[in-house]
Structure formats: structure tokens, C-alpha cells
Amino acid sequence: MTEERVDYFIDVIIPVAIPQFFTYRVPVNWNEYIIVGQRVLVNFGKNKLYAAIVSKIHQNPPRMYEAKYIEEIIDETPIVTQNQLKIWDWIADYYFCNIGDVMLAALPNYLKLSSETRIILCNQFDGTTEFLTEKDLELIDFLSLKTIITWEEACNVFGKKSIHKDINKLIALKAIEVFEEIKDKYKTLKIKVISGGELLKDENQLKNIFTELEKKAFKQLEVLMAILEIAKQKKQEKFNFYITKEEINKKFDKSIDAVLKALEEKQIISISEQDKSRLSLDNLKTNIPLPTLSEAQNIAFESINKGFHDNKVTFLHGVTSSGKTEIYIHLINQTLQNKKQVLFLVPEIGLTTQLVMRIKQYFGDRVAVYHSKFNNSERYEIWDGVLNYKSGDNNFSIILGARSSIFLPFKDLGLVIVDEEHDSSYKQFDPAPRYNARDTSIFLANQFNANVVLGSATPSAETYFNAITKKYHYHHITERFGGVELPQIELIDLKKQAKTNFLPEYISKTLHDEILATLEKGKKVILFQNRRGYAPFIQCSKCGWIPECNSCDVSLTYHKYINKLKCHYCGKGQSNYNECPACGSHELKMRGLGTEKIEDELNLIYSKYNIARMDLETTKGKDAYQKIIDDFENDKIDILIGTQMVAKGLDFEKVALVAILDADTMLYYPDFRAFERAFQLFVQVSGRAGRRNEKGKVLIQTYQSNHDVLQKVILSDSISMMNNVLADRKQFKYPPYFRLINITLKHKNIDTLKQASEILGNELKKALGDRILGPKAPSISRVKDKFLMEILVKIEKNASPSQIKKIIRDNLGSLYQKGFSSVRVVVDVDP
DNA sequence: AGCACGCCGACT
DNA sequence: GTCGGCGTGCTC
């Protein structure tokens, strides 16, 4: 019998935005080492190397081409679980994107390896210079100086962008060589630890050492004593201790490196290196009893468990301050007792220290926090920690994170909590995958048969609909927790306000009086205006000219602190105008209202008080956001002006007044969710006012005091708000009654774009009839020098979305075939 | 998405 | 005449 020789082929995912999988061949002697979920190094394209993920192992050689061999198996064990691969597939299919896009979004950077070209001198170079140009010689000089250079450095030497020809010529002359190098490998953080050396093994030696050192090396004795003292403090054994170098360094103000080295040479101590985690696992061992639940909370807890028992997603609807967090804490505890993992999703901005500390208070170092502000090493270490989690472990049993935490390699998930489920930051728009973490987390939970709780005070129409139609289990808490009262919400009808000459038009007399009264009582004020910058646009008062971005179809926002006009779409800035370029007039007026202007002008009016601003600009730095929060908490700020950032996750004492300066612009935003969003935001902002035993006040300035949304905000009545929203959605064929797919076409030539979108629109209408709306230009019809056209697909709930998606996919493919390959198409599912 | 190959305008 | 612009097509 001859030994059977099997050829293995693997389908891999390449970390590049390409739709397909690629098939490679495994060298026979590696057959037994290849596992799904590992990374393999592959040659892709002409000379690029990538770490690709093994997604399928099979024995079917491709018919149309010869598969390349893989170069290397990178991981001994998989770094991605089978469940994750299923989720990636689902996301790519559901959200209409490439599997490579999902991989890029899911993996921490350290696991995404790709190669970079390096250039070196060729040792066969004979030094002949007759075919070389001056630039060639410059490159060779540079190389003999630096040994290895990058492609980019070579471009700089040549002083141009495209150097392929020059490089190829030099390679042909055997002057240089190129090779591919993998960049950015993860490096563990090393720390030095000190432990007892050979001589410190028995007591008799110790005495000798002491007498010896006392005579000749007093400093060494001092350091040794300090080391033993620290070990004693840490309750370690006398002859078997280890402390970090950092700990001993702290005891001395000068460097003791030389002393330690001497002690090491005498074999009194030994110094070694050890890996250290970058995560601040602040050894919080907590024995704090769980918070006691009120009767209403207890009923909610029981009800949620009933939903779990029925295998349903549970929606916990609880007004602000109804104590949802305490219920979450009990649910988490219950899941940990069952030795399962918990994923606690919060909106990006909700990850304030306030929430993190509150959860850590009960669960200590079991909590791992994960969000986009973390650096590469930290993200990698969390991935690794979750990957190595075993049922019942403490570490990495609770992940508290923003939307991207759904991509972590969970092993044994028991519970997913999505707090503030309505929050729009769960949906990713910009780079693909355009996924919704709330919806994806339900798919994720299904893989593990895990429970899901969605929580909100102001639910999304989708979730509310699923709750009342019994698809989800629904529990509503109407009672506030611990004596917190609903703030008193009042509208200020701007039509009825008397004009004053000392106040800007956006501060009514009534509001001014309330602000002063609040500040005089030593309380704080939050002013909400959902627009950053100084003035959204400027306008010539003679001819009406408005400066616009020359790459985008929007007016430029004036930012006073840099005295520049900035485009909020492409980010380009330009200096401000002194005179109108259209008519030469000097009367350029600031129009509209941004947070920066409010801050500026209020500093004059309330000059006795401290005013701060919280928006994208003032929170850019790593700790800027936290600093504003700290200042506010430490009474260094009396009035806080902010965009929607102030609406979320902040809990402060002493905020007695919250004002929404301009409710109207939000109500007239051109989006089918405008009312829903406005309501959610207004109610959330209102929730910042008042604390325990103290009723806060909320003032909303508007010209539309009869507007239905504002009336619902006054009553904080999310149920009748939702019922109105649902009625509208049904009538106008929007979610949750219809599924939406938005197709955006982009091209820098408007005629090409119009042609392409007409053709696509017509073809889709042929197949899908009046489900297709458009093509029409969006309200901002040009961004970053590209014109935009949109086609909206409305799919009724009982139609097969996969069939319709296939039709869309096919038509996009044939549009590409028809010579419109340069038209970019972006598909956004459930926008 | 990169990145190469390939076909036309402005410069030594 | 060449350099380098970016249009087009492929990657196992």
C-alpha cells in the first residue's frame, strides 16, 4: 500500500477591499499544521506579501488557474474563531461589502500584516558608472550610507513620484536589489524584574553578604535592604521574591543601575526581562455587594429573565434615571456565575470614566474596556486576552466597549447588553463595512445562544416596533429610581420674546434671567447648540454672496480661533475674506450660530463666570474630553456650551438648568429620522438637568412652540412619540415597515455620473418597479470634488431581501461592464 | 484597494 | 524626442 498524498488548498481572506476569496496551495509537509482561522503569509499580486486568514480547507484545485503556494504559516493556533468567520460572512453579505473590508475593520492592526518594499545595494555591483545618471549615483550614495531604504525614501532622492523605471534599470544593472519586508509586528512590552540570586538561597550566606557589603559597598547594601523591604511589604518569601525594577527605582532619586548591576554580578540578585501587559488592569479586587434593586427594578429583572427564557431579545424601556444600570449589573453578575462572557456595548461617547468606574466598582479587573481611542498595542492585547479566555476565567469576562467590540474573538458569550440602543453611533457610515453594531450583535449573540438586552429611554422606531409586535420581549419601567424627579421642561416661544439690545438674538430675556438666577444660586448651566464652529456661513450684506467650498457643495464654516473658513465635509481650510470677492463690499456678516460664537459672546455677558465649550474642536486631544469633565465636576466651569456631546453619558451634580438654544434647525433636518433623532436628543439633553432630590429645569427656545415633537418632549412621552413616528413611517414607506438600501454613485464628471445613475436607475426599475426612488442628487450634491447621485430602494418587509440584493449586485456588475468602472458606488443597507 | 501596464500632452 | 499624467484591468 502506498501512502496517500493529499494536496490541500485553502481559501483565504486577503486584507484588501476585494470581493472574492483567493485559493492557495499548501505544501504537503505542512498539511497537518494548517487550521481554519490561522494567518498564512501569501504572495499576492506581483510582489506583495499579506497575512491572510484561512477560511476554508479543501482538496479542489482551481480549474482556471494554477494556485500559488503559501509562503508560511504564521500562527500556531487560530487567531480568529469559526464564529467570527461566520459573522464576517454575514456582514459582507448583509451590508454589501467585501469580505476584506470586514477583515480590515475587525482585526487589530498588529494582526494585519502587509509587506513594504525595501531597497538595498547589490553586492554584485561592479561599480561601473557609465550607464548611471546623476540621480542614480545619488541613490547609490544614499544607500551606502543608510544600507536599507524604503520606496518612499528613494522617491525623495529622485525627487519624483514614479520611480519604477529608474529602479528597474538599476536592478537590471545589478546595482541594487529590492525585497519585501513585513512591517509593524507586535512587540511585547518588556519590564525588568529582580529576584533573588544564587547567593541569596540560604540564611547563612545572607549574613556573610551583609558583613561583606557593609565593609566595601555601602550603597549596594542600601539597595539590597530596600529590595528586601519591598519584597517584605509585598508579602513575598524572604528567599524567593520578585519585584519590578520600577518599584526599586522609585525608592532612590538617582539612577541605581550600576549598583544593581554590581549586585547581579555578585550573584546576590538576578535581573531578568518579562512581558508586561499595557492594559491598566488596576488590580481592583472588589467585594462590594451588588446594588440593591428597588421593587420596580426587581420586577424588570425578573421580566428580562422571562424574555431570556423565551429565547427572545429583550427591550428594556426605562426613562432617564430609572436605574437601568443597576439592572445591567445584576444581569452581568448572573451571567458570570454561569461562567460566561458579557459584551456591554455603549455609544462611543458614552465610554466616560463615570460609566467605566461604575462597572469596575462591582466587577473590578474582570472588565476590559475597548474603544477606538486605544492604541494598537492595547487593542492587540485585548484581542489576545479575549481569544485566550477560557470558561470561568476572571480576566476578559466582561468587555465594555463601543461598536467595534462586536468583532472580538468571543469564546463563550452569555449576554450582550446594548445600552442606548437608539444611538446613531452604533451605525458605521464612512468606510465599509457600514454595519450597525446593535443589529450585528444580535446575530453575534445567536451564534452562542446568548441573551440580548437592548436598553433605552427613547427607543429607535425599529426596536419599539419589534417590541410592540412581540418579536422582542418588552419591559417598560416608568418609575424613577431613588427619588430623582423629572425635570421641569418649558418652551420659550421666541415669537413672543421682547427684543433687548444687550443680549444676542439667541439668548432670550427669559433664558437670560433663568441663567443668572441659576448661577447666583451657585448652580451650573448647560447650553446645547448642535453646531460647531463660529458661524455656519458668512454672507455679504450688499450682494448676498456666500463663500462655499470649492470641492464640496456646502458653505464654509467660520472658525474664529484660527480665523479661517473650514469645510466640514472635506476638512479643507482657507483664510477668511477681508472683502466680498463678488462686489468688493467690506460688509461680510457672520450668519448662523455655532458653539464657538456662543462661547465668545457669552464670555462678555457672563464675564463673572467661567464658561467652557465641549465639541469636536475642544475634545481633540487624548485627554481633552476628560479634562472638561473634570473641570466641570471640580466647579471650574459654571456654563458649559456644547454640541450633542453634552447629551450623552454625563452625570453631574449641580446642573440646575439646561437650555436648548435652537430647537428648530434640528426639526427641519432633511432626513426621515429627523423627528425621531430630535426627540431622542432633546430628551437626553433634558436628562442632564437636576439630580437626586432636586428638580432641574430645561428651557427650549423655538419659533414652533406647537410642534408635536416639542410637545412630546415636554411630557417626556416616548410612547406616544413613537406611535406618531410609526404612523408616519407606515404611510411614507420607511423603516420599520420597509427596509431601505441607499445606493450612492460618485464621479468627478457630472455627465458621466448622470448617465451611469440613469442607466442603473432604469435597469433597477425594470426589475423592481416602484421600489426604486431616484436617481436624485442629495441635498449636498458634491463632496471632495466628486458629484453624488442617490438611488433609494424601499423593500417591503415580506419581500426576500436576498433576492433583491442579488438583483442590485447583478446590476452594479453590469454597470461596471458598460464602461462605468470609474464610477464609485457605495451601498448602504439600513442607513 | 493597490499596483502595474499602457496610451497621450508639456518639458529637457 | 522623453517624463509622467491617470484610465483600465487584475490580483489565486
From residues 442-461 of A, which are strand B contacts by CB within 7 A? none
Q: How far is the CA of A101 from the C1' of B1 (A)?
A: 10
> From residues 39-98 of A, which are strand B contacts by CB within 7 A?
45-48
Nearest by Cα to A138 from A152, A124, A123, A155: A155
**For the CA atoms of A222, A223, A224, A228, what is the dihedral angle to 10 degrees?**
100
Show Cβ contacts of residue A218 under 8 Å, excluding neighbours closer than 6 positions: none
Question: For chain A, percent helix, then strand, then coil, each to nearest 5?
Answer: 40, 25, 40
| Residue bearing the bigger pLDDT, A321 or A323 | A323
Pair A630, A673: CB distance under 8 Å: no
B5 closest protein residue (CA to C1'): A164
Which of A121-130, A188-197, A365-374, A759-768 ranks highest by mean pLDDT? A759-768
Least confident of A57-71, A233-247, A305-319, A701-715: A233-247
Alpha-helix runs per DSSP H in A343-485: 353-363, 376-387, 437-448, 461-468
Q: How far is the CA of A521 from the C1' of B3 (A)?
A: 67
Contact A68, A50 (CB under 8 A): no
Residues 806-825 of A with CB under 7 A from strand B: 824
Whole-model pTM: value is 0.88
A133-138: list long-range contacts, CB under 8 Å, 24+ apart. A135/A159, A135/A166, A136/A166, A136/A169, A136/A170, A136/A175
| Distance of A172 CA from B3 C1′ (whole Å) | 20
Q: Are strands A588-591 and A537-540 parallel, antiparallel or unpaired?
A: antiparallel
* CB proximity A17–strand B (7 Å threshold): yes
Bases of chain C within 7 A of a CB of the protein:
3-12
Query: For chain A, what's the residue count?
Result: 831
Q: Is the CB of A668 under 7 A from strand C?
A: no
Residue A204 CA to residue A142 CA, distance in Å, equals: 62
- The pLDDT tens digits for A453-508 are 999 999 999 999 999 999 999 999 988 777 677 889 999 999 998 888 889 989 99
Distance CA A5 to C1' B5 in A: 40
Output the distance from A74 CA to C12 C1' rounded to whole Å: 19
pLDDT at A160: 73
Which residues from the 162-221 window of protein chain A have CB within 7 angstroms of nucleic acid chain C? 162, 165
Strands (E) across A655-758 are located at 655-660, 697-702, 738-747
Least confident of A380-384, A415-419, A589-593: A589-593
Nearest nucleotide to A42 by CA–C1' distance? C12
Cα–Cα distance for residue pair A422/A402, rounded to 1 Å: 14
The more confidently predicted of residues A48 and A334 is A334
Residue A57 CA to nucleotide B4 C1', Å?
31
DSSP-assigned letter for residue A99: H
Residue A155 CA, nucleotide C5 C1', distance (Å): 17
Name beta bridge partners: A740: A794
Q: Is the CB of A165 under 7 A from strand B?
A: no
A749, closest nucleotide (Cα–C1'): C7
Sheet holding A488-493, edge to edge: A488-493, A697-702, A655-660, A524-528, A639-642, A611-614
- The pLDDT assigned to A486 comes to 80
Among A313, A292, A279, residue whose Cα is nearest residue A384: A279
Question: Distance, angstroms, CA A262 to C1' C6?
Answer: 65
Q: Report residue A435: phi and psi, to 5°.
A: -100, 160
Residues 6+ apart with CB under 8 A from A54: A10, A11, A12, A34, A35, A36, A37, A38, A39, A40, A78
Which nucleotide is nearest, taking the CA of residue A431 and each C1'? B1
Whole-number Å distance between alpha carbons of A660 and A529: 6
* Dihedral pair phi/psi, residue A76, rounded to 5°: -70, -40
Q: Which nucleotide is nearest to A98 (CA to C1')?
A: B1
Please report where in the chains the cell 429583572 appears, as a residue.
A301
Cβ A441 vs Cβ A343: under 8 Å: yes
pLDDT computed for residue A1 by the predictor: 46
CA distance A658 to A515: 9
Task: Answer yes or no: is A18 CB < 7 A from strand C.
Answer: yes
Distance A549 CA to B10 C1' (A): 30
- What is d(CA A181, CA A613) in angstroms, rounded to the nearest whole number? 46
Which residue has its C-alpha nearest to nucleotide B2's C1'?
Answer: A16
Query: Gap from A46 CA to B4 C1', in Å?
Result: 8
Torsion of CA A81, A84, A86, A90, to 10 degrees: -170
A751-788 burial, b if ≥16 CB within 10 A, otherwise e? ebbbbbbebbbebbeeebeebbbbbebeeebbbeebbb
Paired with A367 in beta bridges are: A398
Strand B closer than 7 A to residue A159 Cβ: no
Condensed to tens digits (0 to 9), the pLDDT of residues A726-764 reads 999 999 999 999 999 999 999 888 888 898 899 999 999
In chain A, what percentage of residues exceed pLDDT 90? 52
- Quote the cell numbers at residue A260: 544593581
pLDDT tens across A411-428, in order? 999 999 999 999 999 999
Position A453 scores a pLDDT of: 98
Query: Taking 90 as the threshold, does the pLDDT of residue A176 lie above it?
Result: no
User: Nearest nucleotide to A100 by CA–C1' distance?
Assistant: B1
- Residue-level pLDDT at A264: 82
Percent of chain A with pLDDT over 70: 96
**Residue A819, CB, strand C, below 7 Å:** yes
**CA of A65 vs C1' of C9, distance in Å?**
17
Q: Are strands A564-566 and A573-575 parallel, antiparallel or unpaired?
A: antiparallel
CB A452 within 8 A of CB A487: no
Within 7 A of a protein CB, which nucleotides of strand B?
1-5
Provide, in whole angstroms, the distance separating residue A453's CA from nucleotide B6's C1': 57
What's the Å distance between residue A154 CA and nucleotide C5 C1'? 20
Q: Find which nucleotide's C1' atom is closest to A819's CA.
A: C8
Q: What mean pLDDT comes out for the span A669-674?
A: 91
Please give the Cα distance from A718 to A561 (Å, whole number): 40
Kindly tell me if the per-residue pLDDT of A207 is higher than 60.
yes
CA to C1' distance (Å), from A404 to C12: 30
Task: Find out whether A825 and A812 touch, Cβ atoms under 8 Å.
Answer: yes
Residue A372: pLDDT band with limits 50, 70, 90: confident
Three-class DSSP category at A686: helix
Helix (H, G, I), strand (E, B) or coil at A136: helix
Give the pLDDT confidence score for residue A278 in this predicted structure.
67
Nucleotide C10: nearest residue by CA–C1'?
A: A45
**pLDDT tens digit sequence for A686-697:** 988 877 677 889
The kind and range of the H/E element at A365 are none
Residue, of A246 and A328, whose pLDDT is higher? A328
CA A116 to C1' B5, whole Å: 21
Distance C2 C1' – A479 CA (angstroms): 80
Q: What are the angstrom distances between the C-alpha of A533 and each of A561, A700, A702?
A: 9, 21, 21
